[in-house]
Structure 1
Amino acid sequence: MRELFGDKDLTAIDRYWAEPYVQHSPRMPNGLDALREVVPGLKGFSWEPQRIAAQGDLVFSIVHGWGPGPAAIVDIFRLDGGRIVEHWDVVQEMVSPEESVNGNPMV
């Protein structure tokens, strides 16, 4: 994620992702070619991991970025042979603890 989205190194796709790549994010098509097309045009996105966990063939990470404003993102990846073959995400607009009803930070 850091190499692809932070460094914009498209060769990371060949090292860490594999086809068939199934995408469940509603704004992205299936397949690795979609990543190759989208990543160079991302402006202002930074991958700042807050928490990462793994269970079996699933990896979860919570990051900031992607949307037009600050957002908390939970990415879920399914791995096969150590490579990413499936992706889900949940994107939520960031709200400061002061603006939150419960006063807690989101991440």
Structure 2
Amino acid sequence: MSLLPETSPTLEDRNKRVVIDFFRHVLEARNPAAAKDFVTDDYKQHCRHIPGGKDGLERYLRQIFGDAPPLPVKDEMTQPPVLLVAQNDVVVIAGYAPQPEPEAPNTLYDYFVFDAFRLRDGKLAEHWNSINKIAPPRHP
């Protein structure tokens, strides 16, 4: 099942396709070298734990994926997003990633991961995500 329409794509549809292809070719295929095909030279990260720039992203992905060879690229995403929206040059994608329930062994709780990208000239130019360091709640 395709996530995008087969008719002439709008700017938003083209931008969604870039994000989906980035996930397929780089993240799901575990191929850091492919990142250069999807991001601008001045790619800006809004996540402190991921370095900025095309080279910074590739180095970060190499740390995560290690020296294993890339996996084959699949025709569709292995784990399709539960949400994929675009407005002008911004695309937001959300994935479902159930996590172990700390207080109930052998059960999972619903957890969703969000990524937002700003695109420029058909490439990812900025990135924000919802994965952050966990800290105890602070009460006012």
- Fold match by TM threshold 0.5: yes
Q: Deviations over 1:9-63 (max 9, x none)?
A: 23432221111111001211211112211223326xx865221111000000012
The verdict on how the C-alpha distance between 1:47 and 1:39 changes in structure 2, with shifts beyond 3 A counting, is: farther
Q: When the two structures are superposed, what TM-score results if normalisation uses the length of structure 1?
A: 0.67
The structure 2 residue matched to 1:90, chosen from 123, 127, 130, is: 130
Q: How far apart, in 1, do the equivalents of 2:57 and 2:38 lie? A: 12
How far does residue 72 in structure 1 lie from its aligned partner after superposition? 2.1
Of the two, which has the highest radius of gyration?
2
RMSD: 2.9
Higher helix share: 2
2:72 counterpart of 1:50 = no
Q: When the two structures are superposed, what TM-score results if normalisation uses the length of structure 2?
A: 0.53
Unpaired stretches in structure 2, ≥5 consecutive residues = 1-22, 66-77, 102-109, 133-140
Could you tell which deviates more after superposition, 72-81 or 1-10?
Answer: 1-10
The verdict on how the C-alpha distance between 1:91 and 1:64 changes in structure 2, with shifts beyond 3 A counting, is: farther
Q: 2:119 matched to which residue of 1?
A: 79
Could you tell which deviates more after superposition, 52-61 or 28-37?
Answer: 28-37
Sequence identity percentage: 25
Q: How far apart, in 1, do the equivalents of 2:111 and 2:56 lie? A: 22
Task: State the 4+ residue runs in structure 1 displaced beyond 3 angstroms.
Answer: none
2:53 counterpart of 1:31 = yes
- Greater relative contact order, per chain length (Cα 8 Å cut-off, separation 6+): 2
Aligned residues: 89
